[in-house]
Chain A
Amino acid sequence: MTPRKTTLASAALACLAACTVPPASSTILVDAPSESATEWQPVADYLGHRCGSLDCHGDLQRSLIIWSCDGLRLDPTDVPGCHMGLHAPATTSGEYAATYRSLVGLEPNVMTEVIASGGADPDLLTFIRKARGEEAHKGGQLVVAGDAQDQCMCTWLAGNTNTNACTQAVSSTQ
Chain B
Amino acid sequence: MIRRSLLAAAVTAGLIAPAACADPTHEAEVNALGPEVPGIPPGPTHRAGQPCLTCHGGLGPAGATFLTAGTVYVNPYTPGTTAYQPLVGGDVHLVDANRLTYDALTNEVGNFFVTPSQWNPTFPLGDAPADGGPLDISVGVASAGLGSATPMTTHIMRGGVYASCAYCHFDPPGPTSPGHVYQN
CB-defined contacts of B123 to chain A, threshold 8 Å:
140
- Does B175 lie within 8 Å of A72, measured CB to CB? yes
Interface residue? A14 (CB, 8 A)? no
CB-defined contacts of A55 to chain B, threshold 8 Å:
156-158, 162-163, 167-168
- Does B157 lie within 8 Å of A84, measured CB to CB? no
Interface residue? B149 (CB, 8 A)? no
Inter-chain CA distance A67–B135, complex, in Å, is 24
CB-defined contacts of B150 to chain A, threshold 8 Å:
84
Number of B residues contacting the other chain (C-beta, 8 Å)? 26
Which one of B128, B135, B158, B177 contacts A54 once the chains associate, using CB atoms below 8 Å? B177
CB-defined contacts of B153 to chain A, threshold 8 Å:
70, 81, 83-84, 174
CB-defined contacts of A83 to chain B, threshold 8 Å:
153
Inter-chain CA distance A117–B25, complex, in Å, is 42
A173-B177 contact given A138-B158, A139-B157, CB 8 Å threshold: no
CB-defined contacts of A78 to chain B, threshold 8 Å:
175
- Give the number of A-B contacts (CB < 8 Å): 74
- Does B175 lie within 8 Å of A73, measured CB to CB? yes
Which residue in chain A gives the minimum CB-CB distance to B168?
A54
- Which A residues, 51 to 100, have Cβ-Cβ distances below 8 Å to chain B? 53-56, 58-60, 70-76, 78-81, 83-84, 86, 88
CB-defined contacts of A73 to chain B, threshold 8 Å:
174-176
- Which B residues, 145 to 181, have Cβ-Cβ distances below 8 Å to chain A? 150-158, 162-163, 167-168, 173-179
A172-B128 contact given A53-B154, A84-B152, CB 8 Å threshold: yes
Which one of B124, B128, B151, B178 contacts A79 once the chains associate, using CB atoms below 8 Å? B178
Inter-chain CA distance A88–B163, complex, in Å, is 23
Interface residue? B127 (CB, 8 A)? yes
Inter-chain CA distance A173–B158, complex, in Å, is 15
Inter-chain CA distance A21–B106, complex, in Å, is 55
- Does A80 lie within 8 Å of B177, measured CB to CB? yes
Which one of B132, B158, B175 contacts A76 once the chains associate, using CB atoms below 8 Å? B175
Interface residue? A27 (CB, 8 A)? no
- Does B175 lie within 8 Å of A74, measured CB to CB? yes
CB-defined contacts of A172 to chain B, threshold 8 Å:
128, 132
Q: How far is the CB of B127 from chain A (nearest CB, A)?
A: 7
Interface residue? A26 (CB, 8 A)? no
Apart from the given pairs A84-B152, A84-B153, A173-B128, 10 other A-B contacts in the complex at a CB distance below 8 Å: A53-B156, A54-B154, A55-B156, A56-B158, A60-B176, A80-B178, A81-B153, A84-B150, A138-B158, A174-B135
